[in-house]
Structure 1
Amino acid sequence: MDRRAAGPRPAGRPAADRLLLTTTRAGGPWVAAMMAVSLLLAGIYTVLPALMGRTVDAVLDGGDFALWLGLSVAAVCVLMAADTLDDFMGKMAEARSTAWLRHTLLGHVLRLGPRAARRFTAGDLVSRLVGNSARTGQVASTLVWALMDLVPPLGAIVALALIDPWLCLTFLVGLPVVLAVVRTFIRDASGINERYFDAQGQVAARLVDALSGIRTITAAGTVDREVRRVLGPLPELRRHGYGMWGALARVSSREALAIPLLEVAVLAVAGLELARGRITPGQMLAAAEYVVLATGISSLVASANRLALARGTAGRVAEVLAEPPMTYGGEPLPEGPGRLEFRGVTVRGPDGAAVLENLWLTVPAGALVAVAGRSGSGKSVLAALGGRLLDPDEGEVLLDGLPLRLLDRHALRQAVAYGFERPVLLGETFADAIGFGPAPAGPDEVARAATAARADAFIRRMPEGYGTRLADAPISGGEAQRVGLARAFVQSGQRGRGLVLDDVAASLDTVTEHHISRILTGTGALAGRTRLVVTHRASTAARADLVVWLDAGGVRGQGRHRDLWADPGYRAAFQPEAPVTGTGTDAAAVGSGEATGVRTGERA
C-alpha cells in the first residue's frame, strides 16, 4: 500500500518534545530576556493591588500616604514599560524560532530530493512548512508566558484568602462561568489570522513551485538558491505577523468584559465584610483588583491550549525531519569517458514490489543509448538512477568506475545533466529557465542551446525575447519541453559527461523530434557525451547506437533497433496500450512502476 495513501505516520511525542526544546533555544537571547521581564511583570501584577490598598488606607487614616502612593505610581510605570518590552521580546523570540524552523525544514525537504514527493504530497508539505512551523515557532513565548501566567492568578487567589476567606470562596464559585465566557472570546478571535495566512500563501505558492521542480533542483544542484527564493517573502510575512499579534492583543484586553458579574459578586461580599469591620476600605479596593488578576487563569488555560497545539504541529514537522536526506560523498569526478554501469540494481516501490530487480547493464561511454519498454517497465526509474536522482534499494550505480554515492554533489551535478518529459521552468525569464543550474550561462550559450532545441524562434517572437517573464508568456507543452531540453543542453555543455533525457520528445511534433534526434546523433556539442534517452518512439530508437529493452523489471534484450524489431514483444512496446482496467500485470506496473519512483511534478 502507498505510504502516502495510508496517511502520515506520527513522529512520536519524544521527537516532538525535542523539536520544541530545540526551537525554543533557536529563539536565542530573546527567550532569556523575555523570561526575566515576564517574571518582573508577574511580580508587579501580584504586588500592585496591595500597594494601592495600603495607599487608600493611609489616606483615610490620615497617615503618611506619600510613600505608598509613590510606590504605586512607580509600579504602574514599570508595569507599562515591562509589558511593552515583554511583547516585543516575545515576538522577536517567535520570529527567530520560526525562521530557524522554516529554513531547517525547507532545506531538509529540498535535500530529500524526489523522495520528498514520494513520502509526502506537495500540499501536505506546504501545510507543515507554513502553518505547522508557525505554530511550533510560537513555543518559546508560549512556554515562558504559560509558566509566568501561573504567578499572578495564584498570588491573587492567595491574597483574596488572606484578605478574607469568603472573598476567595465567592471567586472560586463563579470562576467556571468566567472560563466559559473566555473560551467564547478565544473562539471568536480566530478570524483575525486572515491577513497573516494570506502572506503565508505567498511562501506556500513558491514552495509548491519548488516541489514541482524538485528533480530539476536536485539535478542542477541549486538547493541553497531555492531556499533563498522560496523564503523571499518572509519580511512581508513578518510585517503581517506583527499586525496579527497586535490585533490578538487588543482582543485579549477585552477579556475584562467577562468578569463584571464576578467582580460585583466579590465586591458585594467585600462590602458586607467592610460593613462588619472585618476588612478596611483599602483591602476592599485590593480585593476588587485581585478578582481581575485572578481571572488571569483564563490566560493560563489559553497558554496550555497553545502548547498542546504546538506539540501536535511539532510532531508533524519532526516527521519530515526524521526522513534521511540524500547524502553525498567527497570524491572528485574520476577521469573517464562517461561509462555508466548498473550492477545488481533493485528498486522497490512504496508497496514493496520490485520496479527494477537485479538489473545489470553497461551504458558505453559516448554512446546514444535508447531505453524502450511498455509503461511500468521501469524506464524512468532507470533514468533517475543514472544521475542519482534516486538511490537503488540494492546494488550500485557507477560512473567511470566510481559509485555515484561517493561523488561530491557539485561534481555529480556538473557531470550528469537531465531533461524531463514535463519540465518545470524555474526562474523569472526564459533566459533564467534555460540557464538554470549551478553555473551561470551567458546569453550566447543560452541562445545556442535554444536553437539546438528548436526553441529560439518562438522565444524571439515573445514581447521581450529571452527576457520575457515566464508568467506573462503562456506556452504549450511542446514549447515548454523544448525550453527544458535547451536547459539540459546548457548543463551538458558545461563540463558535462552524461546527458539523461526522460522521454523529452513526447510532446514534440514529428519535424521537431527529427531535428532533436539529429542533434543527439550528430557531431556537434553533444558528440562524445554519454546519452541515455528514454523513448516511446521507434524513430528515436532507430537512431540509437544501442537500445535497452526493459520488461518486467529487467533487461529483456539489448542491441540495435533493427535487430530487436524482429521480436513481436519489442514491436509491441511502441504500440498504443489498451486502457488500464485496474487488474492484471499492466495495472500493477502502472501503480508501482517508473512514475512511482521519481514523481515530482515532472511526470516520469
Structure 2
Amino acid sequence: MVSTRPPDGTTDESVARSADALLVRVTRASAGRTAGILLCAAAAAAASLALPAMLGRTLDLLLESHPDAGRALAVTVALTAAEVALGAAVALLSGTVGARSTAWLRLRTVRRLLAAAPRDVSRFSPGDVATRLSVHATEAGAAPAGAAQIIAAVLAPVGALVALFVIDPWTGLAFVLGLPALGLLLRSFARHSSDSVSRYQRVQSLLATRLTDALGGARSIAAAGTVDEERARVLLPLGELGTEGRRMWSVHGSAMARSGVLMPLLITAVLAVGGFGLADGRISVGDLLAVSRYAALAAGLGSVAGPLGALVRGRTAARRVNALLTVPPLTHGRAELPPDGPGALELRGVGVAIDGAWVLRGVDLCVPGGQTVAVVGRSGSGKSTLGAVAGRLTDPDEGEVRLDGVPLGTVAADVLRREVGYAFERPHLQGATVGDAIASGAETAPAESVRAAARAAGADDFVRALPLGYATPLEEAPFSGGELQRLGLARAFAHAGRLMILDDATSSLDTATERRVDRALAHEVRAGTRVVIAHRLSTAARADLVVWLEGGRVRAVRTHAELWRDPGYRAVFGHGDTSGARGDR
C-alpha cells in the first residue's frame, strides 16, 4: 500500500513549503529560458495591446481616405506578424523549459536514491518510485513554464483593461463589474483541482505498485493458478482512478465552461456600453473596433484556468517527487583505512530500528581479520540487516561499526566501496557485455581478474559457451537464477577487498557448485574477512566461526561444532538431533 501521509515530524503545510522550495530550485535551473518566456510573452502582450489601437486608427484613416492609411496598415500587419512569431517562441521555450526541468528533477532524484541507504529507499515500492520519476516528475517539470505562462496570460488582459479605461472609462467599468465573479471562479477551481489531482496521483502510484508486484511474482502467480484473481487485484484501483480522473477533469471542465459563459457576457456588456458611447459621440467607429478587441483581450483572464490547472498539477506532483528527494543520503568522511589491514570487523552496541521496531539491538561482535564467519538465525532474526550495517549499506541507529579500528562512518566513499564487497541473492548486473558486468565496480577490474573470478565462481564455463563469450551483450544473454548468482559472485570476487559480505549469495547453487565456490573463497579469492549470511547447514559447518542471531541479538559466537551441541541451534536448521552434523562438516 502506498502511504500518502507526510513523514513523521512534518505537517501538510511543511510538505507544501518544501515542495514549493523545490519548484523554486527547478525554476532557477532553467532561469535563462524561463526569463526568455517572460520576455517573449511581454513583447507578445505589447504587440497584442498595440494591435487593436492600430486597427482602430487604420480604420478611421481608411474611412477618411487619409494618405497615412497605407503606412498604418503596414504597421498593423507588422504587429500581427510579431504577435504570431512571439507566441511561437513562447510555445517553443515552454516545451524546452519543461523538458529541461523534468530532466533536472529526475537526475537529482535518482542520485539521491542511489546515495541513500537501501532501507530508507525501500519504504517506496518500485512501482511508486517509477510513477513519481516518470509521470509526476513530468508534471512538476512543467510547473515553471506554467507559472511563466500564467504571468504572460495576465499581462495582455490587464493592459487591455487599462486601454478600455483610456478609450472610454465606462467600458472599463463595465468589464470590472464582472471581475469578482471571475475571481471566485478561479479560486474555487484552484482549491478543488488541487484536491482531485492529489487523489488521482495517489491512485496512479497504487496501481503502478500492484502491477510491479505482480510482474515480479509472475511465475508464482502462474504456478498457483491465480492469474484471474491477481488481475482483478491489480485492476481494482482502476475504478477509483476513473472516478478521480472524471472528478479532476469535471472540475477543469466546469471552470472552463463557466468562464466560457462569463467572458462572452462581459464582452457583450462592454460592447453595449461602447455602442452607447458611439451613439453619444464619445468614441469613434475606430475606437469602438478597438474597444471590441480590447474587450476580447481582457476576457483572456478566463483562459488563465488552463495554465493555472497545469501549475496546480505540477505543485501537487512536486510534493510526491520531493518525498524522494528528502530521503537522507549516507554521508561519508575522508578517512583512509590502515594499509594492509586484515579486515578486522567490530560492532559496538549496534542497534537498527525499522518502522519503529528494533531489528538489531545491543549487538557486540568482534570478527578477527582473515576469517570466514557465518551469520545464522531464524527468519527475521536480523541477519541481512547485520550484513548491511557491517559493510555500511546503512547506518545503525545506535552504536558503531569499525573496520580495522576505523569507524565506517568516517571512511571515504571510494575507499569503502573498494575495500568492502557484496554479493546478493538477486544480483543486479550492469554493463554493455557480460565481461563488463563482472568488471564493473568502484574500480574496473582487468580482464585477467574477470576471468579468474568467473572461474572461482563457477561461471567461466557457461560464459565461454555464449555466442561471443565475455563480449556477449548483457541484454542478449538470458541467465538462470543460479547463473546470475554465480556472475554476482564473480563480480564480488573480482573486486575482493579486506571485507566481503555474501548475503545468501549461493542460495540458487547446487551443492557441488557451492562447495566449489567455498573452496575458491577459502583458497583462491584474495579477500580478507568473509561474512556469509547463511541458511544452509553446510555453509555454517565450513565457516571458521558462526554468529548465531536470535530476536535481533547475538546469542552466541562459536564454531559450528560447539554450537551443534545446543538443541536451539540445531532447530535453526530444522534438526532435532546431532545426526549428520559430522558429515555436513
SS of the equivalent of 1:296 reads: helix
Residue aligning to 2:47: 44
Inter-CA distance 401–133: structure 2 relative to 1 (3 Å threshold): same
Structure 1 match to 2:146: 142
Partners of 2:377 and 2:117 lie apart in 1 by 26
What displacement does 1:378 show? 0.9
What is the identity, as a one-letter code, of the residue corresponding to 2:317?
Answer: T
Higher RCO (C-alpha 8 Å, min separation 6): 1
Hey, what does 2:504 align to over in structure 1?
503
Cα distance, 1:101 vs structure 2:
2.4
The answer for the alignment partner of 2:293 in structure 1 is 289
Q: How far did 1:550 drift? A: 0.9
**Among residues 448, 453, 464, which one is paired with 1:460 in the alignment?**
464
One-letter identity of the residue aligned with 1:48: L
> 2:374 and 2:101 mapped to 1: Cα distance?
50
Gap runs ≥5 in structure 2: 190-207, 217-255, 577-585
Q: CA deviation at 1:165?
A: 6.8
Aligned length: 506
Deviations 1:316-375 (A, max 9, x none): 22332223210000011223211000111111121x221111111011100011111111
Q: Are the counterparts in 2 of residues 368 and 520 from structure 1 also a CA contact under 8 Å?
A: no
Q: What is aligned with 1:216? A: none
Task: Report the CA distance between 1:20 and its aligned residue.
Answer: 1.7
Q: Give, in angstroms, the shift of residue 87 of structure 1.
A: 2.9
What amino acid sits opposite 1:53 in the alignment? G
Distance 1:354 1:171 in 2: 66
In 1, distance between residues paired with 2:466 and 2:267? 72
Alpha-carbon distance, 1:543 to partner = 1.0
**Which segments of 5 or more consecutive residues in structure 1 lack a partner in the other structure?**
185-203, 213-251, 578-604
What is the CA distance between 1:80 and its match in structure 2?
Answer: 3.0
Aligned-residue offset at 1:391 = 0.7
Instruction: Report the AA paired with residue 17 of structure 2.
Output: P
In the other structure, the counterpart of 1:448 is 452
After alignment, is 409-418 or 80-89 more displaced? 80-89
| 2:111 aligned with 1:107 | yes
Letter of the aligned partner of 1:118 in structure 2?
S
**Percent identical residues:** 45
Determine the C-alpha separation between the residues in 2 that align with 1:275 and 1:434: 88
For residues 474 and 5 of structure 1, the distance between their equivalents in structure 2, rounded to whole angstroms, comes to 36
- For 1:46, give the aligned amino acid: L
For the aligned residue pairs, the C-alpha RMSD in angstroms reads 3.5
Partner of 1:602: none
- Give the distance between the partners of 1:155 and 1:410, measured in 2 at CA: 59
Counterparts of 2:121 and 2:511, CA distance in 1: 33
Alignment-derived partner of residue 193 in structure 2: none
1:35 correspondence with 2:38: yes
- Please give the alpha-carbon distance, in whole angstroms, between the structure 1 residues aligned to 2:405 and 2:18: 40
Which residue does the alignment assign to 1:341? 346
Aligned equivalents of 2:421 and 2:550: distance in 1?
26
Contact 2:456–2:521 (Cα < 8 Å) also in 1: no
Matched position secondary structure for 1:556: strand
The secondary structure found in structure 2 opposite 1:354 is: strand
> CA separation in 1, counterparts of 2:507 and 2:61?
92
The residue type equivalent to 2:60 in the other structure is D
**Displacement after TM superposition at 1:167 (Å):** 5.6
Q: Which amino acid aligns with 2:503?
A: D
Paired residue type of 2:535: H
Query: How far apart, in 2, do the equivalents of 1:172 and 1:5 lie?
Result: 46
SS in 2 for 1:33: helix
Look up the match of 1:542.
541
1:458-491 Cα distance to aligned partner (Å, 9 max, x none): 2222222222233333322111111111111111
Q: CA deviation at 1:454?
A: 1.1
Is the 1:27–1:94 Cα contact (8 Å) retained in structure 2?
no
Deviation at 1:520, TM superposition (A): 2.2
Contact preservation (8 Å) 2:113, 2:121: no
The CA distance in 2 between the partners of 1:559 and 1:260, in whole Å, is 87
Aligned partner (choices 303, 310, 318) of residue 314 of structure 1: 318
Which residue is equivalent to 1:377? 381
Aligned counterpart for 2:426 among listed residues 419, 422, 426? 422
TM-score w.r.t. the length of structure 1 is: 0.76
1:557 corresponds to 2:560? no
Aligned match of 2:493:
489
Q: Contact (CA 8 Å) 1:453, 1:483: kept in 2 or not?
A: yes
Partner in structure 2 of residue 24 of structure 1: 27
Alignment partner, residue 581 of structure 1: none
Of the structure 1 ranges 440-449 and 380-389, higher mean CA displacement relative to structure 2 is found in 440-449
Q: Report the Cα offset of residue 558 of structure 1.
A: 1.6
- Give the distance between the partners of 1:326 and 1:576, measured in 2 at CA: 41
What SS class does the counterpart of residue 370 from structure 1 fall into?
strand
Q: 2:393: which partner in 1?
A: 389
CA contact (8 A) 1:256 1:292 kept: no
CA separation of 1:82 and 1:576: change in aligned 2, threshold 3 A? farther
Secondary structure at the aligned position of 1:285 is classed as helix
Match in the other structure for 1:525: 525
Matches within 5 A, 1:121-200: 121-160=125-164, 163=167
Cα deviation code 1:54-98 (max 9, x no counterpart): 110121123343453343233223323322333333333333333
Tell me the amino acid that sits aligned with residue 81 of structure 1. A
In 1, Cα distance between equivalents of 2:270 and 2:393: 70
Q: Distance in 2 between matches of 1:379 and 1:269?
A: 82
Q: 1:110 to 1:83 in 2, by over 3 A?
A: same
| One-letter amino acid matched to 1:83 | G
Change (3 A) 1:359 1:498: same
Taking the aligned partners of 2:438 and 2:133, their CA distance within structure 1 comes to 29
Counterpart among 80, 85, 96 of residue 76 in structure 1? 80
Asked whether the 8 Å contact 2:267–2:299 carries over to 1, the reply is: no
Deviations 1:476-531 (A, max 9, x none): 21111111111111111xxx11111011121111111121122223x2233x6211
Structure 1 residue 566: Cα displacement: 0.8
CA distance in structure 2 between the partners assigned to 1:53 and 1:469 by the alignment? 70
- SS for the counterpart of 2:122 is helix
Q: 2:121 aligns with which of 109, 117, 123?
A: 117
Instruction: Show CA shifts across 1:249-293 (max 9, x none).
Output: xxx9xx999988987786677667656655432123223322431
Structure 2 CA distance, aligned partners of 1:448 and 1:476?
21
